[in-house]
Structure 1
Amino acid sequence: MRWRRRPEAGAEEPAATPGAGIDLRDVGHEYGDRTVLSGVSLTLTERRVGVIGANGSGKSTFARLLNGLVVPTSGSVLVDGLDTRTQVRAVRRRVGFVFQDPDAQIVHPTVAEDLAFGPQNQGVPAEEIARRVEEMLDRYGLAGHRDHPAHLLSGGQKQLLAIAGVLAMRPQRIVFDEPTTLLDLANTRRVARVIDELEQDVVVVTHHLDLLAGFDRVLVVEDGRVAADGTPAETVPWYVARMD
């Protein structure tokens, strides 16, 4: 995910424990007097994790907890040992976030400027930023749009730009919050292929259950709790049966 303030010169990133994963310890979250999540304890170390559940179940709040967009009301979330409540800048260097609506994270006028925005805020040197921008433009078929207004791209192109903007910051993990909900079938399949080809670990919140084929683990969130946790073959049929 992106942020605006540049790191202070010479500032050191807090020590992390690479490979420790994302650890949720008795996590709860409330909005006002409404409990959204309660008693969630688990560790995510797998390369591909899916999160499913009905609307209002708490799964989007769960996703936002993983990189500090939301901090728990109770309990703690640790990313490679870094606390999202107190070490959020370091956490967001490690965990990127792709929103359902790409317009929520496209902030600069042109495609190339938007790709450069995140690395600039990380203090990446200009030459390296230029290299990353070119890499992302080429990888996602956006080179012909580099100077075009970003908000005039098609829906599928915007979502690719949003993903590319996160990748330009080189996170180790990426959380996707319903990345295909606003897309047609062709673009849904394209984004699914993009996710499948990523080297980074991913957590994908989705209603499109077909996206989860081949995933290592799928969580079912129900009434603010993780009601099922297992392989897609175990949890997806369980969830579908609950919806009947």
Structure 2
Amino acid sequence: MSDISPLLRLDVVDLRIDGRDVLRGITCVSDARRIAVLGRNGSGKTTLARVMAGLKAPTGGTVHIAGVDVARDRRGALGAVGILFQNPDHQIIFPTVGEELSFGLSQMGMTKVAVTDRVEQVLAQFGKSAWHDAAIYQLSQGQRQLVCLMAILAMAPKVIILDEPFAGLDIPTMMHLSRVLESTDAALVHITHDPRIVAHYDHVLWIEGGAVQMQGAAAEVAPAFEAAMTELGKRDDLSDIAG
């Protein structure tokens, strides 16, 4: 048997919050480079993203990213997985770009000299060296989202989780960030309600009511999800389709 761990391994993941089962028995093993978590609003997909990123510990089961138990090994998780949220203001905690990019690297245990060098390298890579001391509050939403992405890429994680990060962005900004993500060596786990976005992905996990409804190739799962959502949309009772 091979000792090499799969890139993504979810073993019967449960999460119970305030007496409610939010995630139920989610299992997935994949080495795919492009993975999607598909589901309507309220299905549990964003909560699953936070569990996969190690930001919330499951109440049952385990999550391993590149062999790291992300709930138990927080420092190891920083080098294994990063998450890009829909709203950059939910992610940014420092006033300047340089400080924001430095934080995660410091948490990984890098020396101050190494952190400084890495921050300068990443900013230069994106042609944003002049941003080092820039006040983040003065940047546009798209620019703040780019800061978040640079902070993640600086740590060189094996997996980047995308929690619908393009919502509210204009088309040029969305295209720019998409190109950056497509060029990275990291595997992508894309959280979305739109099957069209992930039609070319390698592995799709359809979440419904906190459990796996279906998983497999996008060519099979995405059309099944879209058909189910279309059928729900034909109903007159909105209480039936509220997620």
Q: What TM-score does the superposition give when structure 1 sets the normalisation length?
A: 0.86
Q: Which residue of 2 aligns with 1:29?
A: 15
Aligned to 1:221: 207
Q: Deviations over 1:91-117 (max 9, x none)?
A: 232111211111122122111221112
Partner Cα separation in structure 1 for residue 123 and residue 77 of structure 2: 26
Tell me which residue corresponds to 1:77.
Answer: 63
Q: Distance in 1 between matches of 2:148 and 2:119?
A: 13
- 1:240 pairs with 213, 226, 241, which one? 226
Which one-letter code corresponds to 1:136 in the other structure? V
Report the secondary structure of 2:121's partner residue.
helix
Q: Distance in 2 between matches of 1:192 and 1:231?
A: 21
CA–CA distance in structure 2, aligned partners of residues 195 and 231 of structure 1: 21
Superposition deviation, residue 231 in structure 1: 1.9
Counterpart-to-counterpart distance in 2, 1:189 and 1:240: 24
- What's 1:123 paired with? 109
Q: Does 1:171 align with 2:157?
A: yes
Question: 2:40 maps to which residue?
Answer: 54
RMSD: 1.9
Q: Closer, same or farther in 2 for the Cα pair 1:132/1:18, shift >3 Å? A: farther
SS at match of 2:166: coil
SS state at 1:181 partner: coil
1:157 matched residue in structure 2: 143
Query: Which one-letter code corresponds to 2:186 in the other structure?
Result: Q
Mapped to 2, the partners of 1:56 and 1:135 lie a distance apart of 39
Question: What TM-score, normalized to structure 2?
Answer: 0.86
Structure 2: any 5+ residue segments left out of the alignment? Answer: 231-243
SS at match of 2:86: coil
**Structure 1 vs Structure 2: percent identity of aligned residues?**
36
Which residue matches 1:6?
none
Conserved? CA contact 2:55–2:71, under 8 Å: no
Structure 1 residues without counterparts, runs of 5 or longer: 1-16
Aligned length: 228
Q: Which consecutive aligned stretches of 4+ in structure 1 deviate over 6 angstroms post-superposition?
A: none
- Structure 2 distance, partners of 1:226, 1:179, is 23
